[in-house]
Structure 1
Amino acid sequence: MASTIFPNSNHQPRVHPYSPSNKHSFAFQSVTTRWPKILTQVIDHLVDQNNQLLDRLPSDPDSQSLKAKLTQGKAIISLISELKYEAARDKELSPLESNQNYTEQENQIILLYNQELSKSKAAGKPTWFSASWLLTECYLYQRLHGFFNRHEHWKNFDPFEHQKLSSFRSSWSAVSNLCLILDRLTKQDKQSSVTDDDLLGRRAQFNELLSACLWGNATDLSLLPNMTHEEIQHLQTSSSRKPESVLRDDSAQVWQTCFDFNSSVPGKPSARRIDFVLDNAGFELFTDLVLADWIVSNSKAAQIVFHPKLIPWFVSDVMKKDIDQLLESMVDPRNFFTSTGTDQSSTNPDQTHDAHFLVVQEIGRRWKSYFESGAWKVMDSSLLSFWTNPLPFWDIASRDTKLLEELRAADLVIFKGDLNYRKLTGDAQWETETPIEEAIGPLNGLFNLLSLRTCKADVCAGLGSGKEAWVSKIDPDWRINGKYVT
């Protein structure tokens, strides 16, 4: 019989997972407010896509194919409307549907979800509000993906791509400024032996770029669906980062473990590897690549491995194609950042000096060369499905031994963003002073990990004594408003 406390995990912690059943939780707010907005935006975008198909019909020689796509588009809109209705009225979570054209990997993920739905039902938690928030939110995006995946003309359609591109296009000022900083840092002379002053300087550089990478997570389109371009630009400036907003800081330990130039680890070769489990596309992905560039230029790391998502996920999560699009936009920055594109938005970087475009272009070309040489690589797609299942990460040892083997081959695994943090901690109702080692359960000790997260969900662990009381007095919404980081 499934556990009634934590039905969707092999590990059974002492606390319950967050659930929309609590009307005072962010989980409840998500089901009742956030998700309807997100699904409505997808419907609106599909209506626009269908209208464009209608405009093309009279003159397009392939009109039969367009008509079929239009018909399927209307069917998908109906399915999304039904999904929206079910969630709002706390209906039972229906099994995910397969398709005769699905791959074995796709069928396996469908089977896993349906098994977890059965466990939740057996535990008396079969509906949108009674099941765990982690299960229902992952289920929402997996089911949405299935609507497109089962229709041939929409199989590879990303309903969030236009939002990801629009958000990044509005980021020119932050992108160009950070590229200028990176260009200066990577062109500094590198000595074969590192002095104490060199070490202090490099550690300061690392801390600054780690901070940029951390705060880049603030622009999460699934959590801030109505964010304006002006608000995005503010979040991307250093003025939005305040030292007192960092609730837990392990950067010194990370530096000592992986970037201490004058130390060696017994049994470890000089060539090292760091993995990024990615979160948001656009500006956050850009900051991830900036940090990765500095790492390969300044440390013993010989390889960076990136883990994107296989499917459109939580609106703005990175897919392999988003990495490719970002690289292309940087190789041709003037065209990308000064054009309106299909999303009809642009930052119009007026009076930008040509040198800025050239620096961005040079860095974009360097990043492409890293991928071509193998210094950077994207994890093989056969090992990526774990990141879009509904399970806490602490189940990895029993669920995906091949992926675990890859993660253990890295000297450090950097988990980006709020959802990854929720999965690391089981999205459970931990007291904030719970040691992080307890909160991540069986994951503790399997490999070195670092979580970079702006707080946009209720779950939080590993804080020092009195920290929760202090921050709650200053800002009662600190857990969910994206203004604080760990």
Structure 2
Amino acid sequence: MSSPAKGVALPQSPVKGGSPTKPGSPLAQSKKSSKASSPTRSTGAAQPFVHQNSDDEDYYTRPDFIYGGPFIGVNRPSPFLDTGTPMNLPLQGTFKKSFAYFSLKERIPVILTKIIDYLSRDGGSIKSANGASEEDLKNFMQSVVKLKNDLVTNKDYDPFTVDTANAKKWNMWIENQENKKYFNNTWMFTECYLYRKLREGCELTKGLQKFDYFEAQKKSAFDNNVELMCIVADKMVTMVNKSEKDKRKADFITLLKICLWANKCDLSLSLGSQVNLIQAAKDATEKLRLNPPPPPPPPKKGKKGKPAKEAAPQAPLVISHDPFQMILDLKDKLLVDDTAKIADQVQNKADAMLKAINANTTFKFKCSCHRLATLAGVPLCKDEAAEEVKDTKDAKDTKDTKDKKETKEAAPAEAKDGKEKKEDAPKPIPCPAKMTVPQAVMFDIVCDNTGYELFADLCLAHFLVAQKIVQKVRFHVKDMPWFISDVTEKDFRYVIDACSNSNFSKEASSGATEGEGGAPKIIKADNLRLLGQAWNQYLTDGVFQVMAEEFWTTPHVYRDMKKYDPILYRKLQYAVAIMFKGDLNYRKLLGDRNVNPTTGFEASLQGFIPAPIIAVRTVKAELICGLPKGKWDQLTTADEKWMQSGDYGVIQFCPKGEALKVSDRPCMDYCQTCFGVVCPEHTDI
């Protein structure tokens, strides 16, 4: 390669955000030697610098990049900054000291590698269980390999190729992104894109359409924590008995805290490795004994005539795995505790809502559907509406008559006092778009992890129903495998069935004994089975309802829910309160921005208040709100990575909720035409 004319030098490009040459690097040494050998430098005209196409951020500062005579470092425009996430900016992978950068660079590639290993190791059983071919497995594996490759090299997002309405939405969202590279865009969008793209790999095959590549890990996570579930179940059988106000409040608070610390069982944080809280407690105890905390300060001298204050007791050097003892052990790790406020205000709001439901007659007999439908641009005269309702009713009557006839021919009709038993008339269901009062007092749980965490959520739901605080609990789950251990509808039913059929029996891991002889205490699953059977019945009766809305697996933060899914927002408005579980939900509640840690919880929600909001989360990402002044600085000084460990938690509450108003459009969730008094398409809320 021929060199340019001697004495012509390329000027340093003063690009903002570029990285200076590190002292002692080969490039810096070559600069030093070139200066020593060239005492004079030409003042000839500088040559223009043309950027090369390269995904390597250090391409232009490597010693092998030679542009005339001496090596000259050229700062390439780089989005990467050697800092943490600045205040009030979205979390994203361009901040190299942030957890977002570490997650994209280190954590998610490991998660994808484990899927590739799983497909290689257990390909035969996967094909057999799913009726898949060798070609299906090969194609899916190749898609995962490409996804990992594109991530670590910071490529542009690939569009989705599967022909579904959801994929078309994703392509539109990708097109609307200002930054289309994995690290350069927001962490929320990239993470959600990765898990959605992972799913597309299965959708593009014939035999792996329903394959859950995280299922085996989720089942193992359940099995690893059955002992904890049995311990909780043994106390739950007393908690569900009708109790007086103070005990009911205390039990409500306890179960909220059980739900919080169960959130430690997050396979995404552990990169898919199993989380066994019993072993984790033993490891923590050993670590505490090797590095005991400093002794408590000496007692302060009392004032004249007053006794001296006693010294604070030394904390025990044992971390218990008992979920109820864990609440006490981790008391100082609960940074915001709104549980008492939650217990009082949910009860009060539930009582007020029940009175409103019992007093409501408007939508039992009439509604203004026709007028509102017309205002929404759906012309519908009363005659047409009446005819359509009549047609629907006639069709139903014909079907009912046929069913009754077939039943009568198949078996003799049951008779009582010489008369046929009459079936109860179906309860009229009003159009949900016109309701301003729900049909039942409902509590919503937006789920996070399956296994022990879901079990804890079910216990809280059971308690709320058994104590008659609410009449119904709706569980919002994911519609596809998500962030390794997030609950899908299949996972939900698996946990209940596994509890119902558990035969667990084992000596207590704590070494506890019972009886005069000090025989080892045996932990059994008798009460766990009773709970599982009760939950199955609740599902059958509609007291528990599982809802898998598409919105939960989109990249949108919750302040934008009204824009992207107004129907889901309206459904949430029916709830007496909504409990959002886990770190991903917390990030979406806060708009995935690094808000000031002292900003209040309500202000951090940025207007997202469909109903009172409860956030229950162990801290696993670098954003938090509602902390007392100085607390964040204190914790960060002691451990700059405290927000990544999951060792701390918050239970926060916003009591406000947007009033439920009559909608100005027909309920598109059930039908495109408003039928008036009774909606024949609508069977639930």
**TM-score, normalising length: structure 2:** 0.59
User: Are 2:162 and 1:74 equivalent residues in the alignment?
Assistant: no
| Alignment correspondent of 1:221 | 267
Written as runs of structure 1 = structure 2, the 5 A alignment for 1:245-324 is 245-260=333-348, 264=352, 268-269=356-357, 271-324=440-493
Give structure 1 stretches of 5+ with no counterpart.
1-13, 57-61, 192-197, 340-350
| Alignment correspondent of 1:462 | 626
In the superposition, relative to structure 1, how do residues 357 and 268 fare at CA in structure 2: closer, same or farther (>3 Å)?
same
| Alignment correspondent of 2:175 | 118
Letter in 2 for 1:359: N
Check whether the contact 2:230–2:523 (CA below 8 A) recurs between aligned residues: no
In the superposition, relative to structure 1, how do residues 257 and 309 fare at CA in structure 2: closer, same or farther (>3 Å)?
same
| Alignment correspondent of 2:54 | none
Letter in 2 for 1:322: D
CA distance in 1 between counterparts of 2:592 and 2:534 reads 38
CA distance in 2 between counterparts of 1:338 and 1:95 reads 51
User: Are 2:194 and 1:30 equivalent residues in the alignment?
Assistant: no
CA distance in 2 between counterparts of 1:69 and 1:129 reads 35
Higher RCO by CA contacts (8 Å cutoff, separation 6 or greater): 1
Which shows bigger deviation, 473-482 or 231-240? 231-240
Compute the displacement of 1:262 (Å). Answer: 11
Check whether the contact 2:464–2:470 (CA below 8 A) recurs between aligned residues: yes
Letter in 2 for 1:115: M
CA distance in 2 between counterparts of 1:440 and 1:156 reads 35
Residue identity over aligned pairs, in percent, reads 29
| Alignment correspondent of 1:93 | 157
From 466, 473, 478, give the equivalent of 2:637: 473
From 52, 68, 84, give the equivalent of 2:148: 84
1:171-206 CA distance string (max 9 Å, x none) = 12101000001012224xx36xxxxxx322221111
1:356-396 CA distance string (max 9 Å, x none) = 322111111011011111111112x4xx0000000101111
Compute the displacement of 1:276 (Å). Answer: 0.5
| Alignment correspondent of 2:594 | 429
From 336, 339, 364, give the equivalent of 2:532: 364
Compute the displacement of 1:435 (Å). Answer: 2.0
CA distance in 1 between counterparts of 2:522 and 2:95 reads 54
Check whether the contact 1:167–1:232 (CA below 8 A) recurs between aligned residues: no
Letter in 2 for 1:251: T
Check whether the contact 1:199–1:261 (CA below 8 A) recurs between aligned residues: no
1:197-225 CA distance string (max 9 Å, x none) = x3222211111111001111111101112
In the superposition, relative to structure 1, how do residues 484 and 53 fare at CA in structure 2: closer, same or farther (>3 Å)?
closer
Check whether the contact 2:444–2:476 (CA below 8 A) recurs between aligned residues: yes
CA distance in 2 between counterparts of 1:223 and 1:460 reads 17
| Alignment correspondent of 2:495 | 326
Check whether the contact 2:350–2:576 (CA below 8 A) recurs between aligned residues: no
CA distance in 2 between counterparts of 1:446 and 1:262 reads 16
Compute the displacement of 1:327 (Å). Answer: 1.3
Letter in 2 for 1:139: Y
Check whether the contact 2:583–2:620 (CA below 8 A) recurs between aligned residues: yes
| Alignment correspondent of 1:3 | none
Written as runs of structure 1 = structure 2, the 5 A alignment for 1:176-195 is 176-187=230-241, 190=242
CA distance in 2 between counterparts of 1:139 and 1:245 reads 33
CA distance in 1 between counterparts of 2:274 and 2:544 reads 33
| Alignment correspondent of 2:577 | 412
In the superposition, relative to structure 1, how do residues 261 and 133 fare at CA in structure 2: closer, same or farther (>3 Å)?
closer
In the superposition, relative to structure 1, how do residues 247 and 204 fare at CA in structure 2: closer, same or farther (>3 Å)?
same
In the superposition, relative to structure 1, how do residues 73 and 230 fare at CA in structure 2: closer, same or farther (>3 Å)?
same
Compute the displacement of 1:156 (Å). Answer: 0.1
CA root-mean-square deviation:
2.5
Q: Secondary structure at the match of 2:454?
A: helix
Check whether the contact 2:266–2:275 (CA below 8 A) recurs between aligned residues: no
Q: Secondary structure at the match of 1:371?
A: helix
Letter in 2 for 1:148: C
In the superposition, relative to structure 1, how do residues 366 and 354 fare at CA in structure 2: closer, same or farther (>3 Å)?
farther
Compute the displacement of 1:240 (Å). Answer: 4.5
Compute the displacement of 1:413 (Å). Answer: 0.7
Compute the displacement of 1:111 (Å). Answer: 2.4
1:435-471 CA distance string (max 9 Å, x none) = 222221121x332111111000111112222221222
In the superposition, relative to structure 1, how do residues 140 and 247 fare at CA in structure 2: closer, same or farther (>3 Å)?
same
Compute the displacement of 1:354 (Å). Answer: 8.4
CA distance in 2 between counterparts of 1:207 and 1:53 reads 43
Larger Rg: 2
CA distance in 2 between counterparts of 1:228 and 1:328 reads 21
Task: Say which structure is richer in helix.
Answer: 1
| Alignment correspondent of 1:17 | 90
CA distance in 2 between counterparts of 1:478 and 1:202 reads 34
Check whether the contact 1:113–1:390 (CA below 8 A) recurs between aligned residues: no
CA distance in 1 between counterparts of 2:501 and 2:276 reads 24
| Alignment correspondent of 1:173 | 227
Check whether the contact 1:274–1:304 (CA below 8 A) recurs between aligned residues: yes
Give structure 2 stretches of 5+ with no counterpart.
1-86, 282-320, 359-439, 507-518, 651-685
Letter in 2 for 1:206: F
**TM-score, normalising length: structure 1:** 0.83
CA distance in 1 between counterparts of 2:353 and 2:97 reads 48
Letter in 2 for 1:367: W
Q: Secondary structure at the match of 1:178?
A: helix
Letter in 2 for 1:375: V
Superposition misfits of 4+ residues, deviation over 6 angstroms: 351-355
CA distance in 1 between counterparts of 2:469 and 2:190 reads 41
Letter in 2 for 1:89: T
CA distance in 2 between counterparts of 1:263 and 1:465 reads 36
CA distance in 2 between counterparts of 1:136 and 1:361 reads 41
Letter in 2 for 1:419: L
Letter in 2 for 1:257: Q
From 636, 647, 663, give the equivalent of 1:483: 647
CA distance in 2 between counterparts of 1:229 and 1:263 reads 39
CA distance in 1 between counterparts of 2:171 and 2:477 reads 24
Check whether the contact 1:171–1:233 (CA below 8 A) recurs between aligned residues: no
Q: Secondary structure at the match of 1:24?
A: coil
CA distance in 2 between counterparts of 1:249 and 1:176 reads 26
Compute the displacement of 1:259 (Å). Answer: 2.1
CA distance in 1 between counterparts of 2:111 and 2:354 reads 50
